[in-house]
Amino acid sequence: MADFDYDLFVIGGGSGGVRAARVAAATGAKVALAEDSRLGGTCVIRGCVPKKLMVFASEYREMFADARAYGWDLGDGAFDWPRFSGQLNTELDRLEGVYRGLLEGSKVEIFDQRAKLSGTHEVTLADGRTTSAKHILIATGGHPVRPEMPNAHLGMVSDDIFHMEKLPRSILIVGGGYIACEFACILHGLGVEVTQFYRGAQILRGFDGEARGLIADQMQERGIDLHLGTNIVEMTPAGSDHVSVPVEEGMGPPATETPAPPEGRPGDPVWVKASNGMERVFDAVLFATGRAPNTRDMGLEEAGVKIGRRGEIVVDDFSQTAVPSIYAIGDVTNRVNLTPVAIREGMAFVETVFKGNPTPVDHDLIPSAVFTQPEFGTIGLSEEEARDQEPVEIYCTSFRPMQSAFAGRPDRVLMKLVVSKETRRVLGCHIVAPNAGEMIQLAGIAVKMGATKEDFDRTVAVHPTMAEELVTMKSPVRTA
């Protein structure tokens, strides 16, 4: 048997890569990991964690108003972005230290630099060193992308939000997915005037139609200026007489002439002309129009790894690539791009490769949350997906929750179950409400176990709560 420097070399220090490295090392394997940015990856450093902290910060504005309705003598206060940002960076530094400590405690050798494949069992580091491994795991995640259009460099992407020196007074957010909608709600809550363009007919494509309709209504009710069926036609630096700059290198077709240096930078004021005729200047533009796997210039195809049409690494049910010694997990495979899924994929990889227990990844019935305001928690099939598969009953209720109704706010929540007529199994559960993410985690256990509508009905309600409606809906509102 060939001798290798390591039993496992992990490229990528995000949540999935770190978990796989640690668990593999616990089996006695000799493990190394390379990360060219910060340990923790997208989720911890520039995604889930800082975003959720911003969600918390943004929710306090409504809390001040609610508190007065409940008898507290409070002023509105003022949000201090520099103070919050400093505290946020301190917390991210702490979390990165935790990840490093976990790896070191597991005796994983860490290389703080870029790594790429140079063979089926070989990795070359940025400093020129080459090392070998019996198994290689790619866990490099993804990155936000800008659209291919002139002056796209003027728009920020989600990574940039956490590094703003100050909050803009106004911002245009382009996109209708969960990242776009979450940041629209966050920035609005922090006092920014938010306009959102989405080229589609409704935000949050792919989710339950009734739920996303309510979220769109509530976002507009709160003051977000949402324009559906709308996109940018032209954008230029504010005050530049609207002269377009060619598309940046790597963002579109090559220019026939050498372009002039681009004017402006992400986060600068931008003049925008929209497809609906609107023309105005925004203090900043944020593109939340998609993400792409981090597979460029990694030596993957040269090593025999198959790459899909969207740049993703193609893997089988066991996360193995076309090269038997090379595996991939997480967003770089573009399967289900969620942090807990990447962690589960890393655990299944270790079970398969290091514990002799072939374990396919289970991507069925994954609960998830969208941290809009109100939040959205979901698991299973949407009403639209379910009715295309089989006859279903829809149990649904929408109402004003006690807490906000008392405060005089018009907020509404939604509780919805999609039920198979034949088996009575709950095929989908969708919640639009404050703390919906917390609720769906628990409801997800029942749905994953195959609970029927009658199982929900047999459960005694917890009163008074919003979630009690999940077990008190007796008659379907419609069948499909």
**Structural tokens at position 393:** 């009953």
363 is catalytic: no
| Set 121, 163, 363, 463: catalytic member | 463
Per DSSP, the residues of 240-271 read: STTPPPPPPTTSSSPPSSPPPPPPS-TTS-EE
**Structural tokens at position 107:** 């005796």
Other Cβ atoms closer than 10 A to 430: 28
Question: Can you name the residues that pair with 195 across neighbouring β-strands?
Answer: 172, 225
Cβ-Cβ contacts under 8 Å for 394 (sequence gap 6 or more): 383, 416, 417, 418, 419, 476, 477, 478, 479, 480
Q: Are 32 and 10 in contact (CB under 8 A)?
A: yes
Annotate 367-387 with three-state secondary structure: CEEECCCCCEEEEECCHHHHH
d(CA 416, CA 413): 10
Q: Are 187 and 171 in contact (CB under 8 A)?
A: yes
Report the run of H or E that residue 478 belongs to, with start and end. strand 478-479
d(CA 358, CA 350): 9
Q: Are 366 and 379 in contact (CB under 8 A)?
A: yes
d(CA 181, CA 204): 8
214 secondary structure, DSSP code: H
Whether the ω angle into residue 464 lies within 30 degrees of 0, i.e. cis, is yes
CA atoms within 13 A on the CB side of 189: 25
Residue with tokens 């976990």: 102
d(CA 323, CA 306): 8
Span between the terminal Cα atoms of the chain, in Å:
60
Annotated catalytic sites, by residue? 463
